[in-house]
């Protein structure tokens, strides 16, 4: 491959990721996850995540360099997630990136994590069409983006007003007695009747569509599932986990896919890119494929390992920025936990 040789560092949540790309070619993607350390707390604990990043950063960097068979002196730049994410987690990656940039005398690029989830698709499917709508669904975010230029012009057209989609999966899994992180467990458990219970579809009523056409809400759904399960248990009845999981999953995926299709039509996009951990969900993929095919919309999904948080996505975005002659960040750039 050709193009700039970029090292990417990601540390916004519980994954320490180091990626190396040359243009659109992936050379290395090493991820160290602290998810195991958060399991007993049922969710990511920021302080635990920060410490884990600190311990994992250098070994992960060493593995990536060995795997890519490059010398750091050859780099054209270092890209790092500047936000959004957990403040204490972001600063570890940023400090590492600054140290490397300073020691190696290379330009530093502080980038947006969400834009990275979009840019990573370049490594699998090449240049993005303009416009392109992206649906990002993970434990930390649920957004619909209009991508006009991956390096310079991404607009958020909708997002969740409460819980992220993955967060809803994780909370409902707990209600159903399934382990954390709950998404993959619910996906596997959802073998029952998708129409067993009609759970609420947040922000889809005509009055909600006026102001929240492309926004999401999952907290009412989560509460509805919890109430339903509690009522069953109070009556001493067994909980039909396969049916409840399937019905919950249908409510989430129905809304995500309907709004994504609506966004593509509203913005004249023939392509829908999906990313984030929940993009691995089997029902979401099936529903999107069905609805996209009916509307002549092409789906672009990076391979699963690139959908979850990783360093390659940050390197891919850095490479696009460098290719367009983007300006490097100053070495005193800060972390922005709620970067838009
Ligand atoms: O992108 P990711 O690895 O990390 C961030 O949150 O940024 O996403 C993790 C989320 C978790 O909430 C997890 O439960 C969910 O993605 N997830 C899934 C599936 N695999 C992972 N949710 C539904 N179905 C899945 N197959
Ligand atoms: Zn993410």
Instruction: Determine whether the annotation assigns residue 281 to a binding site.
Output: yes
Contact 316, 62 (CB under 8 A): no
Nearest to 16, CA basis, from 36, 37, 30: 30
Question: What is the arithmetic mean of pLDDT over 33-50?
Answer: 89
Mean of all residue pLDDT scores within the chain: 96
Ligand 1: residue of 166, 181, 248, 287 to mutate (most ligand atoms within 8 A of CB) is 166
For 129-301, give the CATH class.
Answer: alpha beta
Instruction: Domain 5-120+310-323: give its CATH superfamily.
Output: ATPase, nucleotide binding domain (3.30.420.40)
**Distance from the alpha carbon of residue 136 to the mean position of ligand 2, in angstroms:** 8
Q: Output the pLDDT for position 340.
A: 84
> Ligand 1 — pocket residues by CB below 6 A?
13, 138-140, 166, 169-170, 181-184, 187, 276-278, 280-281, 308-309
Tell me, in angstroms, the distance from the centre of ligand 2 to residue 231's CA: 35
**pTM confidence score:** 0.94
Q: For a pLDDT cut of 70, what percent of the chain falls above it? A: 100
Q: What is the pLDDT confidence band of residue 307, given thresholds at 50, 70 and 90?
A: very high
> For residue 254, is pLDDT > 90?
yes
Give Cα 28 to chain centroid, integer Å.
19
Nearest-ligand number for the alpha carbon of 113: 2
pLDDT digit string, tens, across residues 124-181? 999 999 999 999 999 888 999 999 999 999 999 999 999 999 999 999 999 999 998 8
Nearest-angstrom CA–CA distance, 335 and 90: 6
pLDDT tens digits, one per residue of 216-245: 999 999 999 999 999 999 999 999 999 999
Does the pLDDT of residue 1 top 80, yes or no?
Answer: no
- Looking at the chain, the domain(s) classified CATH 3.30.420.40 span 5-120+310-323, 129-301
Which tokens is 76 given? 């054209």
């Amino acid at each position: 491959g050709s193009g700039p040789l970029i090292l990417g560092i990601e540390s916004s949540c519980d994954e320490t990721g180091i990626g190396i790309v040359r243009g659109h070619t992936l050379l290395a993607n090493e991820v160290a996850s602290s998810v195991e350390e958060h399991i007993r707390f049922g969710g990511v604990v920021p302080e635990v995540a920060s410490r884990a990043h600190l311990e994992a950063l250098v070994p992960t960097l060493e593995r990536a360099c060995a795997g890519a068979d490059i010398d750091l002196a050859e780099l054209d730049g270092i890209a790092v997630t500047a936000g959004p994410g957990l403040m204490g987690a972001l600063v570890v990656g940023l400090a590492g990136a600054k140290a490397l940039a300073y020691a190696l005398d290379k330009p530093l690029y502080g980038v947006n994590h969400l834009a990275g989830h979009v840019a990573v698709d370049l490594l699998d499917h090449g240049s993005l069409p303009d416009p392109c709508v992206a649906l990002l669904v993970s434990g930390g975010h649920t957004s619909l983006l209009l991508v006009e230029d991956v390096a310079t012009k991404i607009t958020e057209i909708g997002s969740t007003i409460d819980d992220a989609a993955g967060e809803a999966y994780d909370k409902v899994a707990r209600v159903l007695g399934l382990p954390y992180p709950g998404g993959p467990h619910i996906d596997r458990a959802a073998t029952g009747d998708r129409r067993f219970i009609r759970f609420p579809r947040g922000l889809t009523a005509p009055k909600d569509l006026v102001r929240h056409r492309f926004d999401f809400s999952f907290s009412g759904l989560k509460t509805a599932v919890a109430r339903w399960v509690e009522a069953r248990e109070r009556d001493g009845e067994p909980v039909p986990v396969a049916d409840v999981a399937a019905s919950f999953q249908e409510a989430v995926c129905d809304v995500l896919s309907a709004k994504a299709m609506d966004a593509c039509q509203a913005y004249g996009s023939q392509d829908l890119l999906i990313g984030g951990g929940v993009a691995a969900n089997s029902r979401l993929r099936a529903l999107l494929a069905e609805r996209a095919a009916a509307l002549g919309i092409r789906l672009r999904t990076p391979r699963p390992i690139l959908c979850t948080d990783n360093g390659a996505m940050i390197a891919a975005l850095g490479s696009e920025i460098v290719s367009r002659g983007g300006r490097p960040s100053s070495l005193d750039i800060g972390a922005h936990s709620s970067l838009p």
